[in-house]
Structure 1
């Protein structure tokens, strides 16, 4: 696994935990990378490996997750956006490249709108474009629609780390070549507690607040109000490795993507997770980050 260092950055209410993969050269560009709704900083491990020190990559555990689980609320997409700005200020001089996967892409878009002096170009990975909430659904039903089985996991306990590993290895998204030592390390970072009652370290209130927040007007509008160019890399396959991904050309057109500063690029043969954690997806994400860094 690519070596990294653990850092902590002051934010409202305490300190945000983050992982930093340093560049091989002084003065190299800085990329801040944000994870998904029940993920953590190590979800960017494969991308860090492919980047191979050509940039400094800094990925936080967002408030309410992993090393930042102890940070208090208020939670929500805006709170994460402000935390990302504080991290960017600490991580590098001048605007930094900002990336986000899944929910992290929505956070990235809002952060760029709220803090235009902190960020340069954006790379959005299978997220950032949303759709208005169905009016007939309750908050919990909305949350289930957003992340589905992930919510069930937050209420589960596991006798040991092997049991948690087995739970995830059965997930359709990680079948076959989708399971790697980097994926294992990323998922194990989420686990907390002691045997025989280990559990996800995600704070349920944070996940609930963030999930519902994805449908707020301010969040949905952010990607159409970006002050900088962005690239969206979207996975052909979905969260459960189903053939229909979160996006396709028709859905993106309905979300108004052609009229934004965001260029959309499909990534073939990946799903919502492996677009970030698999070799093919990580390679395309790393290439997009390097292109954005060179255009600073």
Structure 2
């Protein structure tokens, strides 16, 4: 059963969905998208004995946050996540951030280490690339932004979705909807306003780097960056037949790998 709840701090009230019982996993969505993308994943994790928390990103339905977009940073989003964890009353939680959400998850771990048991990057870029190499090719980055451009014909947007988000042979049509351009603008401004070294290391939290084998946005040629920088804190897992979207492509595999890693992290061997 899903419950709609709210968590407040000095600057905002954050709406979120709680589903299931057990150790809490917070899921943070991709750039310009909302928590509905994780309906199936949340249900699968709840069946595995976890409590899944899905905050509504600040700026999705909040005009005041959109108006303040030039002032927000990822630290503001981290405060929102921390408020949700505190509202639930659990000592800590694992935060799973999809794509851009992984930057917010890592910022939360850096800013509120006592609240974060671990961080999972779901098709998440490390945020850094080897010197002299672009972390995201310009044509792929263009497709990231044009995928959610409502002024383009669906046929053109499907081409962008295939290029940036979905592995060959996977159907991208579900992502023709669910885009929030104003939220994307708010989040992009916050991301650019936050120095990467503020969150790159995710404090001292253990990390699951869950990579998609056919990801063009966080490509496998950079798959070593986080592990090389942070060492044994990082566990790398790869899911095949998935691109940057990952979750709608392979929800069962994501639930299995993420759930198993969390069980190991909290010292619970239950299936």
2:18 to 2, 17, 20: 20
Aligned 1:141-290 pairs, distance under 5 A: 147-152=141-146, 156-157=150-151, 167=157, 171-172=161-162, 173=166, 177-178=170-171, 184=174, 188-190=177-179, 200=180, 202-213=182-193, 216-220=196-200, 222-223=201-202, 226-239=203-216, 246-248=218-220, 251-255=222-226, 256-257=228-229, 259=231, 261-275=233-247, 277-288=249-260, 290=262
TM-score normalised over the length of structure 2: 0.77
Match of 1:197 in 2: none
Give the C-alpha shift of residue 68 in structure 1.
4.8
Give the C-alpha shift of residue 120 in structure 1.
0.8
2:78 to 78, 81, 95: 81
Quick check: 2:98–2:124 contact (8 Å CA) kept in 1? yes
CA offsets, 1:139-162, max 9 Å, x none?
xxx99678433433555348xxxx
Give the C-alpha shift of residue 121 in structure 1.
2.1
CA offsets, 1:25-61, max 9 Å, x none?
xxx2111111111121122222112123411100112
Which sections of structure 1, spanning at least 5 residues, go unmatched?
191-199, 240-244
Q: Give the whole-Å Cα distance in 2 for the aligned partners of 1:98 and 1:59.
A: 10
Q: Give the whole-Å Cα distance in 1 for the aligned partners of 2:186 and 2:96.
A: 21
Give the C-alpha shift of residue 16 in structure 1.
1.5
Q: Relative to structure 1, is the Cα distance of residues 170 and 143 closer, same or farther in structure 2, using a 3 angstrom cutoff? A: closer
Quick check: 1:97–1:120 contact (8 Å CA) kept in 2? yes
Aligned residues: 259
Q: Give the whole-Å Cα distance in 1 for the aligned partners of 2:114 and 2:190.
A: 25
RMSD: 3.7
TM-score normalised over the length of structure 1: 0.71
Aligned 1:26-37 pairs, distance under 5 A: 28-37=22-31
CA offsets, 1:192-232, max 9 Å, x none?
xxxxxxxx353354133134246633233x34xx3222211
Verify: 1:60 aligned to 2:55, yes or no.
yes
Q: Relative to structure 1, is the Cα distance of residues 6 and 145 closer, same or farther in structure 2, using a 3 angstrom cutoff? A: farther
CA offsets, 1:220-255, max 9 Å, x none?
3x34xx32222111111125xxxxx6242x523345
2:41 to 38, 47, 57: 47
Q: Give the whole-Å Cα distance in 1 for the aligned partners of 2:161 and 2:4.
A: 29
Q: Give the whole-Å Cα distance in 1 for the aligned partners of 2:131 and 2:106.
A: 22
Q: Give the whole-Å Cα distance in 2 for the aligned partners of 1:212 and 1:145.
A: 19
